[in-house]
């Protein structure tokens, strides 16, 4: 009985959708006043194990990550908007290859192609607005940025928001100290029990 209670969720506070912020490692001083963000979806592709009754789906493919999408308020000087805009321009270099060279060249004139990418952190806050967990994205780069539409006929001022989508290699969900939020070994025993249950159900249907 004690082990059953030990496996229960101890923190009865629920995750709030309004407590978060985002930073980029390539320019941490630029504030993204995000009013919408999401942890992207993960999809595992499967392989089929042939069977004379029914082919069985088993894990064995590759993980596919969804895009990181952010919606943020644009500051009056358009600093956060232009950071993404210039990043995209450097990656696409629509006028000259010098635009890409400028993107990967630091203040000391050293070129590093890896600087075209950046790690990013989505900080998730608890009910007291302290950092509870961190979603770390590796090798981010933007692929789209929405337009800003000016309209002098508006009677109520609605401040500009923009949406940006990023591609990346992988993300990890960590605790506030940078360690895995739930280490994989905690799931191994549970995973074996689930697999055993699946096999029992399968054998019963033969």
What pLDDT, in 10s, does the model give residues 69-90? 999 999 999 999 999 999 999 9
**What's the rounded Cα separation, in Å, for the pair 44 and 31?**
34
Question: For the segment 94-112, what is each residue's pLDDT rounded down to a tens digit?
Answer: 999 999 999 999 888 899 9
166 domain-assigned: yes
Contact 141, 38 (CB under 8 A): no
Q: What does the pLDDT read at residue 204?
A: 58
Rg of the chain taking only CA atoms, in angstroms: 23
Residue 3 domain flag:
no
Cβ atoms of 86 and 99 within 8 Å: the answer is no
| HSE of 177, CA atoms in CB hemisphere, 13 A | 4
Provide mean pLDDT across the span 149-161: 85
* pTM of the model as a whole: 0.78
Scan for tokens 């025993």, then name that residue.
189
| Residue 60: strand, helix, or coil | strand
Is 4 part of a structural domain of the chain?
no
Alpha-carbon span 73 to 147, nearest angstrom: 13
Asked if residue 67 is part of any domain, the answer here is yes
Q: Is residue 114 part of a domain?
A: yes
Quick check: is 5 in a domain? no
SS3 181: coil
Does residue 147 belong to any structural domain of this protein? yes
CATH number, domain containing residue 62 = 2.30.110
Structural domain span for residue 200: 13-204
Higher pLDDT, 124 or 166: 166
Is 131 within a domain?
yes
**Cβ contact 32:23 at 8 Å:** yes
| β-pair partners for 22 | 32, 122
- Judged against a pLDDT cut of 50, whether residue 158 lies above it is answered with yes
Q: Domain count of the chain?
A: 1
How do strand 131-145 and strand 118-125 relate by DSSP bridges?
antiparallel
């Amino acid at each position: 009985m004690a082990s059953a209670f030990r496996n229960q969720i101890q923190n009865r506070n629920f995750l709030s959708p309004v407590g978060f912020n985002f930073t980029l490692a390539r320019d941490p001083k630029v504030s993204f006043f995000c009013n919408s963000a999401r942890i992207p979806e993960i999809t595992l592709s499967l392989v089929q194990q042939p069977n004379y009754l029914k082919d069985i789906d088993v894990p064995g493919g590759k993980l596919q990550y969804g895009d990181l999408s952010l919606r943020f308020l644009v500051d009056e000087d358009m600093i956060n908007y232009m950071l993404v805009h210039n990043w995209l321009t450097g990656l696409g270099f629509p006028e000259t290859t010098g635009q890409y060279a400028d993107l990967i060249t630091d203040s000391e004139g050293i070129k590093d192609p890896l600087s075209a990418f950046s790690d990013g952190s989505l900080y998730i806050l608890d009910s007291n607005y302290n950092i509870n967990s961190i979603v770390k994205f590796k090798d981010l780069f933007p692929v789209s940025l929405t337009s800003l539409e000016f309209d002098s006929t508006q009677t109520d001022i609605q401040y500009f928001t923009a949406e940006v989508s990023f591609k990346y290699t992988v993300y990890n969900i960590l605790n506030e100290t940078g360690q895995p939020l739930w280490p994989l070994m905690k799931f191994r025993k549970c995973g074996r029990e689930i697999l055993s249950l699946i096999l029992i159900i399968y054998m019963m249907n033969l």
